[in-house]
Amino acid sequence: MKAIELDEVQKALDQYSNRDVYIHLETTNGAYAKHFDRNAYNVGAFIRNAEVRYTRAKLVDAGDAFRVGLKMDKGWIYAEGVTDWELNEDGQLLMAGHDSEGRVMVALQISENPFRY
């Protein structure tokens, strides 16, 4: 993955609009958050291979990271804190935000074919 460049990623997002696509969306502070800090508690959510169709996508530069909003007929998909991206050889658009140790904190991925499950 490489650092997000707004125009390039916006272009990639636009390619999937008004098409049936599969989404992977996740955020986590890790399964060991509480183990390593008793004052913390574990938080995480993911959805993999939800089939959606969005009519508009927008990537917003927040300075140190980016926000993504995908507008659907009956709702929204939202991710905050993405910093890196890649269009992989399977034609999947991967976006993720990492902490200073390279750990994933948030990921939003879009693909025309289901992600491996």
Partner 1 sequence: MHKHVIVIYPHPDDESFGSSGTMTQFRNQGVPVTYLCGTLGEMGRNMGNPFFANRETLPDIRKKELLDACKILDVNVEMLGYRDKTIEFESRDEIAEHLKGYLEDIKPTLVITHYPGHAVHPDHDAMGAAAVEAVRKMDPEDRPEVWAQAITNDRYETLGKPDIVNNVEAEFDVKVAAIQAHRSQFEGMFQKMRQSPDFKGQYEDVMERFKHEEFYQWQFNN
Site residues (vs partner 1, CB under 8 A): 1, 24, 26, 28, 30-32, 35-39, 46, 86, 88, 90, 92, 94, 96, 98, 101-105, 107, 109, 115-117
CA distances from 55 to 9, 18, 63, 95 (A): 16, 5, 26, 19
**Other C-beta atoms lying within 10 Å of the C-beta of residue 23:** 19
d(CA 5, CA 84): 9
Shortest approach of partner 1 to residue 28 CB, angstroms?
A: 6
Q: Considering the complex, what minimum distance in angstroms separates the CB of residue 67 from partner 1?
A: 19
Nearer to partner 1, 3 or 73 (CB): 3
Nearer to partner 1, 12 or 71 (CB): 12
Q: How far is the CB of 84 from partner 1 (least distance, A)?
A: 8
Quick one: which of 11, 14, 46, 6 has its CA closest to 30? 46
Residue among 17 and 28 whose Cβ is closer to partner 1: 28
Shortest separation between residue 37's beta carbon and partner 1, angstroms: 5
Give the C-alpha separation, 48 to 34, whole Å. 25
